[in-house]
Every structure is written in C-alpha cells, then in structure tokens.
Amino acid sequence: MNVGYVYDEVYLKHETGYHPENAQRLEAIMAHLEETRCIEHLIPVKPRPATVRELTYVHQASYVSRIQEAALKGGGWLDADTVMSPDSYDAALYAAGGAIEATDAVISGRVNSAFALVRPPGHHATALAAMGFCLFNNIAIAAWHALKEYKLGKVAIIDFDVHHGNGTQEAFYSHPQVLYVSTHQYPHYPGTGTIGETGSGPAEGSKVNIPLPSGSGDDEYRQAFEQIIVPATRRFRPELILVSAGYDPHWKDRLAMMEVSTAGFAEMVRYIKSLADELCDGKIVMTLEGGYNLKALATSVKATFDVLLGNADIEDPLGQPERRWASPDITDLLRTIKERHKIA
C-alpha cells in the first residue's frame, strides 16, 4: 500500500504567534511521525506553489491580489480570527499547491492515497474572503484541479472538521459533479451547514450536511457514517474521494465541544478507505484542516496514516473522553437527513 504525504518547512513560515493555528501543529505532527517511525513507511510528495490560474478555480483574481498585497505590507489581521505574516502568501500558495500535487500523485497512480500536511488550512475561505484561519481553499482547489485537468466526472469531498466548510460548499453549491458531505458541531462557527443546505439547481441533493449537537462522540459519528455518509457516497459513485481532515472534534480539543477519540478518527478513516476501495480504486486525497490540541492532533494524524497503510493496530494514548456532556440522541436528526436526501 503506497501512501504519500506532503510536507515542507515553508508551511512553518506562516507565522501566527500565539494564535491556535500555529506552526507548532505541524511540528508536533512531524515529530510524532518520526518518533514512531511511521514516516519511514510513507512516500514524500513534493509540493509546489499553486498558480494564480489554479487559485482562480475557486477565488476571484482580485482576492488573490489582496492576499499578496497584505503579505507585502507585512501581514496583519484579515478578520477577527485570521492573521497573516509577510510569508503567509507563499505558505498559502504552497498549501494549495501541496493539495494539487497530492491529487496528481494519487490520480497518476504514484501512490494509492496521500495526505497533504499543509497550513494555512482552507475550507472556510470563500471566493472573496479569508475567514476561520483560512486563506485559500486547498481542498476545493484540488477538487477543481481533478475535474478540469483530469476530466473526472464525479468527485466526493468528505469533511469531518468540527466546523462546517462553508467555503468548500459555496465553491460547488450549484455543481452536481461534486458531492460535499460535512459532519460538524452545530450551532458553531461559522453558523452554516444546516440540513436544508442541499445544493441548488442541478446540484440539488449533492450537498449533505450533518449538523451534530455538542457532546457527539465516536458512537454518534459512527451512526452518521453508517446511516448517511456511506450510502450517500455509494449512490454518488465518485472517481476520487477528497477529505477535509480536521481533528478538532477530539475530546481534548477545547476550541469545540465534541467527544471524538483518536480511535474514533481511525474508524472514520476506515469507512472512507472502504468506500474508496469499493468505488474508486482506493483513491483518497486528504488535506489538513483543524486540530489544536497538539498531542490529540499528532496521534490522530498518525492513526489516519496507520489506517491508510493497512495497519490493524491503532495507538490511542489519550483514550476515551472524560465526558463533559451526556451523549446526545441523534436518531431524529439522522432520520430527517435520510428523508430529505431519500436515503433508505
């Protein structure tokens, strides 16, 4: 099983100070992969900067220019959550380009699957706005690259970050070639991702939102995958599965209020891998989104690689959650989603 990874020190140059989305995230991941010798089983995929043409698959050219100009002026705050440094534009180019290169490596068959360990993250960035720590929408750019450059007919994006990927959904809201499925805490930032957001025009029904209540953990995510994500993806029959991999639903992550364990993330990835093996010759491209507790993030990324590599044993040093909330009953929520999307 050939599994690729994208990483470059350019991603550390997106300097954000004491911001929760900081360079220590990638440093912790890479240190853990090296300490556990997992990295010895992975194939490096070299990133490159995305071109302006590739960025404008998703973003307006005027927005790309604004981000470049902000970096040239020394960076600063773009909104209440999103900050730049002088090197952030270059890092963001390489983040989008890293997702593209991972996609190239998988579609060409150089690797079976790949994980782009990049920053800044991307799934909140819209055509005209940076938000939610994100500058360019890496996963959406990679999806458009697959559709345009490889002429794929259908691509699925599965987003398990704790926040709804509003920018990704927006990029494909009227495009039936892309299935977008999101599990996210609701209500929570950015406030989007209701059950009723299902796509428009010919894309109606191709956007599937699973707004989970606070306190959802491994069991609730398992139900969401088994009852919604697996059947919806099977029905869509994608030629490639992309994943916005956010590890902030982890119970140790204090930017949200979910109760997922490291083992729970491994189980999600098993579902995704099984779908990819069944539907698209195992082709999976993952890009890093959130995850702000360093140990939870590092161990969960390592568990993800273990699943992609076919390793049965998953290390979960943090164990099950020290429950802050009772487990919610999501029976009615899932029933409503199934009815809306006509999932048996």
Question: Residues with catalytic annotation?
Answer: 124
Look up residue 88 and give its two tokens.
């952030």
CB atoms within 10 A of CB 310: 10
Kindly report the length of the chain.
Answer: 344
- The burial class, CB within 10 Å (0-12 / 13-18 / 19+), for 168 is buried
- One DSSP character per residue, 21-61 reads S-THHHHHHHHHHHHTTGGGGSEEE---PPPHHHHTTTS-H
Distance CA 182, CA 166 (A): 10
Distance CA 142, CA 102 (A): 9
- Residue 123's nearest CA partner among 136, 113, 110 is 136
Q: Which amino acid is at 32?
A: H
Strand partners, 76: 84
Distance CA 42, CA 53 (A): 30
CB atoms within 10 A of CB 193: 24
DSSP code for 13: G
